[in-house]
Amino acid sequence: MEYSKIDGIDKKVSRFFMGTLGMFPDNKEQHFKTLDAAYELGITAIDTARAYDSEPTVGEWIKTRGIRENIVLLSKGAHPTDYRERVTPYDIDSDLFETLAELQTDYLDIYLLHRDNMSLPVGPIVEKLNEHKAAGRINIFGGSNWTHERLEMANEYAYAHNLIPMTVSSPNYSLAEQVKNPFAPGCVTIAGNKNAAAQEWYQKNQMPVLAYSSLARGFFSGRITRELLEQHPDEIDMFCRIGYCYEENFVRLDRCKEIAAEKGCSVPQVAMAYVLDSPLNTFPVIGAANRAEMESSFGALDVKLTPQEVLYLELKTDTRI
């Protein structure tokens, strides 16, 4: 495992964050085994959210193992419901206190707002996050699925009012371009050539990017093919099919296979190496189901792509040498 530094966190931060979507309390023993394997392999960073219903599982696991001060614990709040937007000071308070209770901790290392509501001014949101920071409930904070323009707007407000800015972000980022948004409204991607402006902003600011769906919902798993899409589309994860199963991404997949064969590694490792080797300050969030999948993902740390190979994968050139 490789570790990096995130400003404002006095702990070593693993290059991979362990995602906990689907770790419901009714199968916690199995989830404990997955989390134990991640920790044994060097994962120190855990990603959860109020909307995942996994906080009780994660909280109990951390408490029973006695490892709270070794874990970089991230959670997210203010996710909308079917009835209303919830990026408000009231809902941030409500979600954060519930999160702390379910995680059985008195603070979070990282707190993210799970969505944005761009019809609202950023000022009260930034002020509320600063209030919780001052109270010691959160350490650093930022946005998940916030555009870089809104992050900049929030930070301009913070600087103008002598407040602490947002310093971390979690958008979708992978080799695959998200052709259609496969998730709920309000999700933000910075992947693909069409999002060059966002990538340039993140590269310039070096704000940590906690990249979700970094393997495009399994598109680079090695199982997805054009033939499978044509003949058995129902066998492909719905979010993968809606968001990523398009010809331009199949070309990227073909090129991953070429490079993987040449380097003696797997297709997922090439796709993950693309995220890790990015000029952005990236930390992929993975949702591995078992130890073998984790070890495969971590193997991407040993795969190094040349600048020409990166351009080839991005479809900016037709030669990889």
Intra-chain end-to-end CA distance of the chain, in Å: 29
Check whether 83 has a pLDDT greater than 90: no
Tens of pLDDT, residue by residue over 106-164, are 999 999 999 999 999 999 999 999 999 999 999 999 999 999 999 999 999 999 999 99
Tens of pLDDT, residue by residue over 217-269, are 999 998 999 999 999 999 999 999 999 999 999 999 999 999 999 999 999 99
Task: Return the percentage of the chain with pLDDT > 90, whole number.
Answer: 93
pLDDT at 288: 84
pLDDT at 142: 98
Alpha helices per DSSP H over 41-176: 55-65, 89-103, 123-134, 148-160
Closest CA to 44 of 64, 22, 15, 65: 15
268-297 average pLDDT score: 94
Q: Provide the 8-state DSSP code for 203.
A: H
164-177 average pLDDT score: 98
Cα–Cα distances (Å) from 23 to 39, 126, 132, 221, in that order, read 16, 30, 27, 21
Q: How many CB atoms within 10 Å of residue 305?
A: 19
Tens of pLDDT, residue by residue over 13-32, are 999 999 999 999 999 999 99
Residue 275 and residue 189 in contact, taking contact as beta carbons nearer than 8 Å: no
pTM: 0.94
Check whether 101 has a pLDDT greater than 90: yes
Cα–Cα distances (Å) from 118 to 21, 143, 146, 169, 178, in that order, read 26, 12, 9, 16, 21
277-302 average pLDDT score: 93
pLDDT at 134: 98
Check whether 303 has a pLDDT greater than 90: yes
